[in-house]
Structure 1
């Protein structure tokens, strides 16, 4: 199941990419952190690596490396504004737990 983007996330990513003409897309992944284990990362991508999966959404290339894909496959990325705050919001069907502050998440790995 691929990564999905809402209209709001697409709009925000188009804005980011327009500011950096050298970027070819958006890199979506995870990093170890927090009390639950992982946090999402969203950065501009300058190149496609050999182990990347590439998902195209309305001209936006979303790149996910092979190590992160099992943790984020099927995630829907949204973008929300609430008052003075704005951020990407992730609906990940693989999440089995989240920390109280909402900054990190856990997934069951199949070893």
Structure 2
């Protein structure tokens, strides 16, 4: 196998489109931070998961990580580890009602397919 044309990839030197928060997502994140004074926002990452390959992971942020990228709308902050960007760059985070449930929804242009239950996605 010849690897003459292999290019290196640098997370720090890449130009990212970024993430967008919908008005509803920003409102929900602000609501959560108002309920917990130690919370500074939400962190969105990815992990290997499910039948499609990757799953989204959301956690409360109480301690800042200087390596995170920060996306903000109307005072709501979404923190994203640089290592997650190749999988979720360009994603819009929304907060929607589906039936009786309210959930964060990921509109990820990089996702080529999702599993039947919607818990994981593949590139």
For the pair 1:74 / 2:87, whether they are aligned, the reply is no
Match of 1:90 in 2: 106
Runs of 4+ in 1 over 6 A off after TM superposition: none
Q: TM-score, normalised by structure 1?
A: 0.89
Higher strand share: 1
Cα deviation, 1:21-63, whole Å, max 9, x if unaligned, reads: 1111210111221001111122211122132111121111211
**Inter-partner Cα distance in structure 1 for 2:24 and 2:31:** 11
Which of 79, 83, 86 pairs up with 1:63? Answer: 79
Quick check: which has more Rg, 1 or 2?
Answer: 2
- Residue 115 (structure 2) pairs with residue 99 (structure 1): yes
Cα distance in 2 for partners of 1:41, 1:19 equals 21
The count of corresponding residues between Structure 1 and Structure 2 is 107
Q: Where does structure 1 lack aligned partners over 5 or more consecutive residues? A: none
- 1:15 and 2:28 equivalent? no
Q: Secondary structure at the match of 1:47?
A: coil
Gaps of 5+ in 2: 1-16
